[in-house]
Structure 1
Amino acid sequence: MGKCEVKMRKREGSRMNGQYLIKSLVREKEIHETYKVASKEDVEKTENELNCKLPKSYCDFVSQFSNGAFLYMIQEVSAVGDGNKQIVPIQRLSLKGMTSIETHEKINIREGGSVNIDYLIPFSLDHNGNAWCFIVNQMIDEEYKVAYFDSHNPKLYGIMDNFNEWLKILINNREEVIRILYDDNVISMEIGLG
């Protein structure tokens, strides 16, 4: 099997995994706060306003499951288009509004490296004023890496390969994703979550 074939199978497996995750959520739809699914036009509106392509896994979520949702009543996923009565679309979320960070400032990654704040697009806010973000500086196989942005002591935590990986952790654990990725010392001492 050649490299191209391996890469194609991996990509197909990732897409199938995404469909499996959505089907998992649909089976338990009554325990989530959900809304009417997004249209192609809703996705395009958000992409045009952000001047950025959205990852396929997130587009599948908002167009096949719910345009914005509150999953397991613990983790919000933002909407596209005009949003809905409870959840604003991601193009109206701003990390700069959540913190005193200047445009073009680099945000350190806990495990090393940094990312320009302009490359972070929030897709999930939490009640602590922090957000899960797409890191949009490089799209690989129609996906972006995701990370948790600590707005109080600006830093990125929990870098994952894509939205589906994030969603899988949430579905498997039914707990805020950041609390699954780090121990209590990091959660309470570094990030300051109660």
Structure 2
Amino acid sequence: MFFMSLRCALQLLKPDPEGKEFMERIIKRLHALSYHMRSHFWLDLKQLNDIYRFKTEEYSHTAVNKFNVIPDSLPDWIFDFMPHHGGYFIGNVSPARMDFRWFCLGNCIAILSCLATPEQSVAIMDLIESRWEELIGDMPVKVCYPALETHEWRIITGCDPKNTRWSYHNGGSWPVSSTM
């Protein structure tokens, strides 16, 4: 959403001397943000295989494993879920761990805002098509996949009852998303 806001701001500014300075700053920020997101938050089969082979405890500007992601943190479901011709932007990257869940709204916004490259946009749509039953099924699109289960949702959401398995905020369907 920040990326889309910057793009909108760029369109609203006048190209006068004061506006040009802000436009240059926004363009610089857009380039940095798009590079960061496309490089570090994109997940496809190639990236998944790279993560699987990451070395840990790399700490330098030349490190391949920039966030020191532990390969054992890859969830079991991800290998079956990832299609050969598909990919998506993950929800979060933190030290030693990535949130590998599929977040529909973020990926759709990435397409709409042009944060996703044309190739990434096609890959996102390919993933939706290949995983239609899991992501959409008989109901409107699910907000995330898979839902957090067992004690994991209690730890991450602080036992908030609105975030139980397949509820609105934890993998449930968002009817408003199907009208987008």
TM-score by length of 2: 0.26
Q: Which has the higher helix share?
A: 2
The two structures have a TM-score, normalised by structure 1, of 0.25
Report which of the two structures shows the higher radius of gyration computed on alpha carbons: 2
